Structure 1
């Protein structure tokens, strides 16, 4: 190859000329093998550097340029050449979306999937990245790709390798940058495949046990608990069929049935504390959904542990529920987070599930103030006896009644230091309540006896003069 002085800082026409020359030589080499292995790898390395900025690097992103790179990346016998070309190709597909479509149109998708059979972390990372980017093509046929390339098996086998290293507590493997990168990328690929092609999610069920091992063995990142690889683990589980038969031993292992659930709860606790409100929607919502699905099939001993960890505790009930920094308080606070509507729905579903999908139990667990919004969204009636002091599952044995509206222990409530109402004020308040109850009944949401109407019938209130009558509230 004619040796040109390589300069990474070339711009404008000089850079365009250099890129054109390199691609011409590489394309020629595909037919004549006119480059030595060192020259070929040097040319690809230089092209990779030029391709990091798409300006004045147009030949890389053309159909001919993508084909040249794909042939070196997926057909060469040299590991170094393949990896150098894969890096160029991955950068091109990342920076210029049209390159993804070109790659798929050229028919190289199945060959990229085959690369996942290689027992090499860097090959795994690069093949996962290229395949992941190709899933954004408008014409890719994912069901065919999954069925005809053994992609699901390839991913399961690679995750099994990672899980094996994690189970051995191989710190070197767990912290090796390339292994962590490859693990992160292949779990992202798994999520994209099951998200974009949900009808094929069952093909990836074999990955679930490996993901659960990885979830339990990897350290939780700080200060952002759902950074890679933890976040991608949870996202990958989101679309998989956790309800499939035979997964009980993975979700609830005999030696520690609650270990996986406890790790998820720990992740939730740290995430609710660690992320600001505007980041919760995208980061924490999948975790809440996976916890809910795990709880739905948990044995009673694990269900009990999860309820104790996620529902208000005795300490929470010393004050009004939803205050403080406990996990349950943070969950209740996010029921009114305007920046996270999907998270709000996920938390509502989880709390309802933790309450046995029973409205009365939900009110007892989190108080009418929070439960009413959940029940309204689910179009469920409010329990008729919600006005009576109650005890929750966690506190029934202690016999401490709590305010059904606020969830606070009655004996912890501070007396309100206000003067006694006059008889006239009581009558005015009674009429206001009468109007409000009548309007509430008309909505059809509740069907309860208006206590003011009952009191009037019983003769406990006297009529007041028209001039003193309270007008209806707007």
Structure 2
């Protein structure tokens, strides 16, 4: 089944599309034969080469009719799988889905209590939010899109509460991932209706403990999508305070997010660091903005450099604050860099002087300049910070390191010959700088001559030594 390639594959796909299209007009296939034909079409449709009939208007129309005319059923799900693959591989097919008015039916079918249905319909709706004229406002207001998403998330929480009693279903986790992605896009592209997703917040928070966080890929589903789903919703409402900052353990949620950041900033690099870890930092900023003072203080203790970090130059250690600070100047991840800098500035009460004291001017300067924040007048002065024993010790304002822990390289004194070479090099550099006209600079040797402090000796001069 589905083994042909090249022109033979094209002929096989053409025959399957024609057979299934004819069956819609005059039923000629038994349910098993119909499902088998759709399964074979799905296999061929995984690679768009020599599968053109699937992606035509006729092919997509046929799949849409099977997907929604007898839903939910095995035939419907078989057609949805082919349709989801087609919409992933060929973006033009997404507008066909929208133009034929099936988005509302997809929303209606989201309420079906079936993981496969949730996975497929959420993915199709998610894909249709890119490059189409889909009306998300209409789907939310008139077709209960937000309500169905919230209810599906609640079903996942129910599964979580019975996790010890039931065997884990991989399809459940995949369905959750697609639902969360759909929620993120709906709240991102339809900001006017974000409030309709407020009831989802408590479910998303509960699902942060769905499973253990892995060391190798800590932000793979469900954690990455869970974090993303909270970025656009309004966390400020009073009714969320007990969910986000529970009375019995107000640090529970923020500590979980910090744990995700700690794992993520160590596990990922390159583009993954930029795309996967940045949302965690952004969400922590949102939490800090609304957190009660005790939680804010805990976040400062977790994320700002500690006395132990100040034993060396800040940003070079292995602690979480060091890793975070190091990435605040990461030129290969500009979004992460900016998100971290904003978070650290927030943790410093948005006070430039505190910011410099917390992270050192070397890390603070770029952010201050980019955001037109006045540089503190006391920048060059050392300040005191508590060491690991609580004693006040002076700190280098540039590096953030305790002064008594600074190490300087011991270099031997220059020989007379080395001093002469260095003087010649500086002379040449001054002359070049002078010729550029950028600044008005006078060569120190030339200045000494004019002031009579330089004696030109004859070529046959011999210095007499005592």
Query: TM-score normalized by structure 1?
Result: 0.83
Between the aligned partners of 1:52 and 1:29, the Cα distance in structure 2 is 23
Tell me the CA shift for residue 410 of structure 1.
2.5
CA contact (8 A) 2:126 2:185 kept: yes
CA contact (8 A) 1:166 1:218 kept: no
Following TM superposition, by how much is the alpha carbon of 1:272 offset from its aligned partner in structure 2, in angstroms?
1.2
Unaligned runs of 5+ residues in structure 1 are: 1-6, 421-462, 470-474
User: Residue 257 in 1 paired to residue 253 in 2?
Assistant: no
Q: Deviations over 1:131-174 (max 9, x none)?
A: 1111113322222222221100100110111122224444756x
Q: Name the residue aligned to 1:164.
A: 158
Retained in 2: the 8 A contact 1:69–1:89?
Answer: yes
* Rg larger for: 2
Alpha carbons of 1:47 and 1:219: their partners in 2 closer, same or farther (altered >3 Å)? same
What is the aligned counterpart of 1:247 among 210, 220, 240? 240
Residue of structure 2 aligned with 1:400, choices 372, 393, 402: 393
Q: Distance in 1 between matches of 2:241 and 2:173?
A: 27
Matched, 1:328 2:314: no
| 1:381-411 C-alpha deviation (Å, 9 max, x unpaired) | 2222233332358979532332222211233
SS at structure 2 position matched to 1:391: strand
1:200 to 189, 193, 206: 193
Instruction: Structure 2: give runs of 5+ residues left out of the alignment.
Output: 414-446, 454-466
Question: Quick check: 346-355 or 34-43, which moved more?
Answer: 34-43
Change in 2 beyond 3 A, CA 1:468/1:198:
farther
1:37 is matched with 31
Number of aligned residue pairs = 422
Check conservation: 2:385, 2:392, Cα contact below 8 A. Answer: no
Distance 2:410 2:21 in 1: 87
Q: CA deviation at 1:314?
A: 1.2
Q: Which of these residues, 202, 205, 211, is aligned with residue 204 of structure 2?
A: 211
- Cα distance, 1:308–1:78 mapped onto 2, change above 3 Å: closer
Partner of residue 137, structure 1: 131
User: Quick one: structure 1 residues 393 and 339, their matched pair in 2 at CA, closer, same or farther if it must change by over 3 Å?
Assistant: same
> Within 5 Å, which residues of 2 pair with 1:66-465?
66-77=60-71, 79-170=73-164, 172=166, 175-392=168-385, 397-414=390-407, 417=410
1:351–1:362: 8 Å Cα contact kept in structure 2?
Answer: yes
Contact 2:387/2:393, CA 8 A, preserved across alignment: no
CA RMSD in angstroms, aligned pairs only:
2.6
Match in the other structure for 1:438: none
Instruction: Tell me the distance in 2 between the aligned counterparts of 1:318 and 1:216.
Output: 35
**Cα offset for 1:275?**
1.1
Counterparts of 1:224 and 1:171 in 2: how far apart (Å)?
27
Q: Would you say the 8 A contact 1:202–1:240 is kept in 2?
A: yes
Shift of 1:297: 0.9
* Contact kept? 2:94, 2:132, Cα under 8 Å: no
Alpha-carbon separation, structure 2, partners of 1:192 and 1:9 = 37
